[in-house]
Structure 1
């Protein structure tokens, strides 16, 4: 690279790399047009779409991009895995909220009866459990193992998750019963 002093006395380095046009290369074919609708929801051999993969790995910006470009958050993989369940499993609360804003089934179950709430509990993801409960996740759904989310929290010794669920149940009772009558 050539070096020449700039007006302020420092040296600027000029690139000696040639561009394709400078080399005389020309475009031999126009780029193929992509059918974004088919690609954005195209499943792999497991049935995972780009959105399911991005949700599973906590890639929130990718999830936002895919949703903005029309990715379908309702698609299930071959064993009924969902973007919501995998985001819950990883404890990616912001992704869980984004998916719930798209009206996905909050109580969707997969091949072994796991639901997003059960996966969030199993992973001890307190914030994720709170977000799912706030949006109406069913506390009574059992996995194929017979565990409800509360059973699972107790069995695994996850006291904070258990406390979140207990507080949620108390709030539900208070709403159902209404204010106490003063005597």
Structure 2
């Protein structure tokens, strides 16, 4: 895909329908499970690689370059420690609990076995990746303390860092970078944390990634560098951040 068509698709918004379908599949253990899946679906699409017009959580050759940040408040943002009846919570998987930030129930699950903290779902996503994708910072913090692997990659190389960058969750991004994760990790479509942050117009996240050494020359499969993408989408503040960073790099080189 080239030219104006690529730019138009990069700038396009994607619905969350596929994410809701995925959650319904995981919650089909009964009426309560289905209700919980709907509740989780309301917080946004689950993580993964985006496939335009088919799966909001997939990226294909730059055609749809981000999960659009949900306007729906998460349970923790609403001040809810428990957002569903206990019987319903019992039907949720450890991944759904992580995505919702249901810490007390998550702790109960983790006590059942040490291997659960890095348990993968059918797409290879871990509880940490889910929590990072939904911006559940306290859940991310606790999972890391419990031994969650911040370097884990899902089947299509999705990472906690990439999905946190996609959502613009700068505090989570910084927390993961403190664990020495690969800042330039790419998925099978060439998406990197910086490219996802630029696509989402997440200025603070872009600043944080650049400050920690993110590569400005990496191209998505569409051929866009981070600066190309910022210009194509008209993200002027992000452009300014990148330009300032490049200027600092040149000034540093001149002093060497």
Does TM, scored on the shorter chain, surpass 0.5? yes
Deviations 1:100-155 (A, max 9, x none): 00000000000210000000000000000000000000000000100000000000
In 2 relative to 1, CA 36–66 (structure 1 residues): closer, same or farther, beyond 3 Å?
farther
Q: Which residue of 2 aligns with 1:116?
A: 193
- Aligned with residue 98 of structure 1, among 175, 189, 192: 175
Tell me if 1:169 matches 2:250: no
Q: Which range moved further: 111-120 or 36-45?
A: 36-45
Identify the structure with the greater strand proportion. Answer: 1
In 2 relative to 1, CA 159–37 (structure 1 residues): closer, same or farther, beyond 3 Å?
same
RCO higher in structure (CA 8 A, sep ≥6): 2
**1:19-168 mapped onto 2 (5 Å cutoff):** 34=111, 36-168=113-245
Identify the structure with the greater helix proportion. Answer: 2
- In the alignment, the residues of structure 1 paired with residue 198 and residue 131 of structure 2 have an alpha-carbon distance, to the nearest angstrom, of 21
**Number of matched pairs:** 149
- In the alignment, the residues of structure 2 paired with residue 54 and residue 163 of structure 1 have an alpha-carbon distance, to the nearest angstrom, of 30
TM-score of the pair, normalised by structure 2: 0.56
Task: Please say which structure displays the higher CA radius of gyration.
Answer: 1
Q: CA RMSD of the aligned region, Å?
A: 1.7
TM-score of the pair, normalised by structure 1: 0.78
Give 1:37 shift. 3.0
Give 1:32 shift. 10
- In the alignment, the residues of structure 1 paired with residue 197 and residue 180 of structure 2 have an alpha-carbon distance, to the nearest angstrom, of 19
Unaligned runs of 5+ in 2: 1-107
Native 8 Å contact 2:216 2:226 kept in 1: yes
